[in-house]
Structure 1
Amino acid sequence: MSTKNTRPARAKKVLEALRTRYPHPHTHLDAETAWQLLVATVLAAQCTDARVNTVTPELFRRWPGPGEMAKAGIEEIETVIRPTGFYHSKAKNLLGAAVRVCDVYGGQVPKTLEELITLPGVARKTANVVLFGAFGINEGLAVDTHVKRISYRLGLTEETDPVPIERDLMKLFPREDWGDVNHRMVWFGREVCEARKPLCGQCEMAAFCPKLEPPKTPRPQRKKTATP
């Protein structure tokens, strides 16, 4: 593992490479409002953005804002979002978030991380995505599976959990770049640095990438039974 004092220099090279490859980064999720981005991000958990984008047009046609969704039946929501998986819990969270946005925040998606994470189904990652994507606020750096994998492979962190990873990355990248770092790493993770077969031959960072892989969690050992 690379020592921590080499990380700032490597992070600078990573940022330059990502900026060159993706000069105009943006989210893959289709949304026109802060509420729609929040909904789409919640639905994207354990689901591809492409599939979410096939579901949200009908979802937003029926319930374009939190006011409309707060009045919806949970079974109706489940029916529409079923293709995204985990639709029971997602529908419950979306309905709960809509009700809270209406009752507590006057129908407007809040603009602080502290308030956003009080909404059902919204943790730090989703809150960071909404803050940057809808309001241009860099409060944190969203750590999804792509960011987690790439930042470890590049030796930018030794952590394997999202919150500690976020803290490490926030120290390495300028605050004004946090939101775009997420977008760029997502694109890079899908097109080049794939989970199983990274295309190192096409990667401009191959020369300084340590190609690290996070430790696999050992399986719990079975207790040996005495031989009769």
Structure 2
Amino acid sequence: MQLTFTFEREPILLQIRNRLVQIYGQQRDELRHEPTPQWVKAMISSRTLDAISDGAFVRLRGLPSWDMLAQMKTTEITPMIHDVTFAQNKAIHLAKSAQIIKRRRGTVELDFLADWPTQVAFDWLNSLPGTGPKVACVTLNFSTLRRPVFAIDTHVLRVFWRLGLAPNRHNFKRGYITLSNLIPNNWDADDLYELHWLMKYLGQKICTHERPLCGRCPLASLCPSAACLQA
């Protein structure tokens, strides 16, 4: 009698996380911003070095309250974030979104999202000008809300695209939908927070936009792009 054993393969995101934790260590942060400052920080940080966006965020946080964003003109916000990428566009989006939040909720505070289902909160944030899936996920996952959604930035999407897990390296919406379907059912908000930072570090240090260091990549054996990128 011949016995046949079937071994269930580990989910791909679990394989990725386990390999990257060995390189970069665990990424668990107990110090979280409240939802509103996290949203503001996410709004100004895209395609900008962390050191620069952090400085701009500190200047904005010096405002008497976040309600000020709904009262300020774009020309008043822009100088406060002048060194971030696309400063004027981000100032426009901040002002318009703050006005919408103020009109709908009476104040520019997002604490009320704690009482909403995750998908409803995501859709509400995603409807704000300049927010989109990335900022919505960062607000929900990185803040004290700690919701189980996966934040995808340029580095994360590029790595997943090269791994063959994302359909497009530039479409955050499609990437979010595709990758959300790969998340293990038992993962919580902290697991997704950790995966984001592990993938971001890999994208910044090894799987870079130009000349990726495939020979040093812990995911090379999982990556269909590794062979051609090294050729």
Normalising to structure 1: TM-score of the pair? 0.77
Q: Which amino acid aligns with 1:85?
A: T
- Secondary structure of 1:194's counterpart equals coil
Residue 183 (structure 1) aligned with residue 197 (structure 2): yes
Q: Say whether the 8 Å CA contact 1:147–1:185 is kept in structure 2.
A: yes
| 1:16 corresponds to which of 10, 18, 41 | 18
> Root-mean-square deviation (CA), in Å?
2.8
Aligned residues: 205
| 1:132 corresponds to which of 122, 141, 163 | 141
Task: Give the 3 Å change call, closer, same or farther, for CA 162–85 of structure 1 in structure 2.
Answer: closer
Q: CA deviation at 1:158?
A: 3.5
Q: CA deviation at 1:65?
A: 3.6
- Secondary structure of 1:181's counterpart equals helix
2:150 maps to 141
List per-residue Cα deviations over 1:139-192 (Å, max 9, x = no partner): x32222112110121222344422222222122222423333222211211122
Residue correspondence of structure 1 range 31-180 to structure 2 within 5 A: 32-61=33-62, 63=63, 65-107=65-107, 108-109=109-110, 111=113, 112-134=121-143, 135-138=145-148, 140-160=149-169, 161-174=171-184, 175-176=187-188, 177-180=191-194
Task: Give the 3 Å change call, closer, same or farther, for CA 212–153 of structure 1 in structure 2.
Answer: farther
Q: Say whether the 8 Å CA contact 2:206–2:213 is kept in structure 1.
A: yes
Residue correspondence of structure 1 range 182-201 to structure 2 within 5 A: 182-201=196-215
Determine the C-alpha separation between the residues in 2 that align with 1:77 and 1:162.
Answer: 26
Runs of at least 4 residues off by over 6 Å: none
Q: Say whether the 8 Å CA contact 2:141–2:151 is kept in structure 1.
A: no
Normalising to structure 2: TM-score of the pair? 0.77
Q: Say whether the 8 Å CA contact 1:66–1:101 is kept in structure 2.
A: no
Q: CA deviation at 1:89?
A: 1.8
Q: Which runs of 5+ in 2 are unaligned?
A: 1-8, 114-120
Determine the C-alpha separation between the residues in 2 that align with 1:11 and 1:103.
Answer: 40
Taking only the aligned residue pairs, the percentage that are identical comes to 25
